[in-house]
C-alpha cells in the first residue's frame, strides 16, 4: 500500500509515518515545514519506502506513483501558529484540501481529513457529539482555523456526494505527545517546559476551563482504524477524561517536581470553556477508545523534553 501523508513532518503526522512504515507501507510525506520539523522524519531519509516532498499542498501535486490512501493533516494546528499564519491556514484548509481531494479522486484513493474539535467552537452542549453543529465566531481571530476546518469538512463531504470518493472525516480533540514543539503555545508543552525550568506556569483566565487530552499513540491507533472504514460522516477522536487547566498544571508540576508558581493571564478571545468528546461513535464503529492515562502520557512527554533540552544544550 502507498500512503501519502500531508503534514507528515508535524507532530501527529510524523507518528503516523512511523506507524505506516512499520506496517510495511510505502509512505510519501508532503510538507512545507511551516510548523513541522525535518528532524521528526529524519530517521527515514535512507529508507527506500519513504519519500519526502518539501512542498506546499496549495501547489498542485503530480506524484510519480499511484497512491492508495491520503491522510490530509497539513495545517498549522496550534493557536499560536494559526494566529501567526492566518492566511496560510485558510489557504491550506481550502486550496490545499481541494488539491488533496483532487489527487485522491485521480488516484481512486481513500481520503482522510484531519479535522478538529474546534469546529464545535465554544460549545453549548457537553460533551460534544458529532451531531452538534457548533458555536463558532465566524470573524473572530480563531475563525481562520475553525472556519477553515469547517470549510474543509464541507468540501470533503461534497467530494463524497458528487464523486462517491471514499472519505472519512475525523475530529481530533487535544492530542499530546513527544515531538510537540516547546514553543508552539499549546498547553502541555508550555506547562512542561515552564515547570522543568521552575518558571511561572501561565494560566489563561481562572484555569477552570476544561480540556480532554489524548496521548498520541492512542490517536494514531484511532486514525489508522478510521482510515479503513467506510463512513462519510465525521467521527470524534479524543480522550473523554476531562480536566480543568488548573488540575493539569498541578499534575505537571508534581510530575516535574517543580517549584513553579502560577501566573494568571487574560483569557484569549473566544477561548472555549469546555471540551470533551463523546466517542460513542468511535467505540462502535472503530472498536477504539484511548488506553493511556494522562499521568503516564505526561511522564513520557516530560522524559522526551528532558532529553531534547539536553541535546540542545550539548549542541550549543
Which of residues 35 and 194 has its CB atom nearest to ligand NAD in the complex? 35
3-state secondary structure of 85: coil
Which residue in 73, 24, 13 sits closest to 50, CA to CA? 24
Binding test (CB under 6 A) with ligand NAD, winner from 92, 128, 209, 227: 92
Write down the catalytic residue from 145, 160, 176, 215.
145
CB of 213 to ligand NAD, least distance (A): 8
Which of residues 58 and 157 has its CB atom nearest to ligand NAD in the complex? 58
Name every residue whose Cβ is closer than 8 Å to that of residue 134 and which is 6 or more positions away in sequence.
119, 120, 121, 123, 146, 150
Determine, following the binding rule CB under 6 A, whether residue 297 of this chain makes contact with ligand NAD. no
Q: How far apart are CA 141 and CA 144, in angstroms?
A: 7
Determine, following the binding rule CB under 6 A, whether residue 172 of this chain makes contact with ligand NAD. yes
Q: Which three cell numbers stand for residue 96?
A: 490545499
Q: Which three cell numbers stand for residue 284?
A: 462502535
Determine, following the binding rule CB under 6 A, whether residue 152 of this chain makes contact with ligand NAD. no
Q: Of 30-38, 200-208, 262-270, 297-305, which segment contacts ligand NAD by CB under 6 A?
A: 30-38
Determine, following the binding rule CB under 6 A, whether residue 114 of this chain makes contact with ligand NAD. yes
Name every residue whose Cβ is closer than 8 Å to that of residue 217 and which is 6 or more positions away in sequence.
15, 177, 292
Determine, following the binding rule CB under 6 A, whether residue 7 of this chain makes contact with ligand NAD. yes
Q: How far apart are CA 208 and CA 245, in angstroms?
A: 6
Residues acting as catalytic residues: 145
Binding site for ligand NAD (CB under 6 A): 6-7, 9-13, 30-36, 56-58, 73-77, 81, 92, 96, 114, 116, 172, 174-175
Amino acid at each position: 500500500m502507498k500512503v501519502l501523508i500531508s503534514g507528515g513532518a508535524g507532530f501527529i503526522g510524523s507518528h503516523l509515518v512511523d506507524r505506516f512504515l512499520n506496517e510495511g507501507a510505502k509512505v510519501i510525506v508532503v510538507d512545507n515545514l511551516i510548523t513541522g520539523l525535518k528532524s521528526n522524519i529524519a530517521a527515514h531519509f535512507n529508507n527506500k519506502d519513504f519519500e519526502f516532498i518539501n512542498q506546499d499542498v496549495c501547489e498542485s501535486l503530480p506524484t510519480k506513483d499511484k497512491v492508495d490512501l491520503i491522510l490530509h493533516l497539513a495545517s498549522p494546528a496550534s493557536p499560536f501558529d494559526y494566529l501567526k499564519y492566518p492566511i496560510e491556514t485558510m489557504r491550506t484548509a481550502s486550496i490545499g484540501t481541494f488539491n488533496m481531494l483532487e489527487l485522491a479522486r485521480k488516484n481512486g484513493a481513500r481520503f482522510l481529513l484531519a479535522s478538529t474539535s474546534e469546529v464545535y467552537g465554544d460549545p453549548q452542549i457537553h460533551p460534544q457529539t458529532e451531531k452538534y453543529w457548533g458555536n463558532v465566531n465566524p470573524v473572530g481571530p480563531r475563525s481562520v482555523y475553525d472556519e477553515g476546518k469547517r470549510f474543509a469538512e464541507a468540501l470533503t463531504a461534497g467530494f463524497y456526494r458528487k464523486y462517491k470518493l471514499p472519505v472519512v472525516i475525523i475530529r481530533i480533540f487535544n492530542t499530546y505527545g513527544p515531538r510537540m514543539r516547546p514553543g508552539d503555545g499549546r498547553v502541555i508543552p508550555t506547562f512542561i517546559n515552564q515547570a522543568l525550568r521552575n518558571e511561572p506556569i501561565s494560566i489563561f483566565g481562572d484555569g477552570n476551563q476544561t480540556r480532554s487530552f489524548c496521548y498520541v499513540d492512542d490517536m494514531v491507533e484511532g486514525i489508522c482504524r478510521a482510515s479503513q472504514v467506510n463512513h462519510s460522516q465525521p467521527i470524534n477522536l479524543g480522550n473523554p477524561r476531562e480536566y480543568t487547566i488548573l488540575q493539569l498544571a498541578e499534575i505537571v508540576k508534581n510530575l516535574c517536581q517543580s517549584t513553579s508558581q502560577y501566573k494568571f493571564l487574560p483569557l484569549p478571545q473566544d477561548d472555549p470553556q469546555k471540551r470533551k468528546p463523546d466517542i460513542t461513535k468511535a467505540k462502535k464503529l472503530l472498536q477504539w477508545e484511548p488506553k493511556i492515562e494522562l499521568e503516564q502520557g505526561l511522564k513520557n512527554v516530560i522524559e522526551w523534553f528532558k532529553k531534547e533540552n539536553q541535546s540542545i544544550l550539548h549542541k550549543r
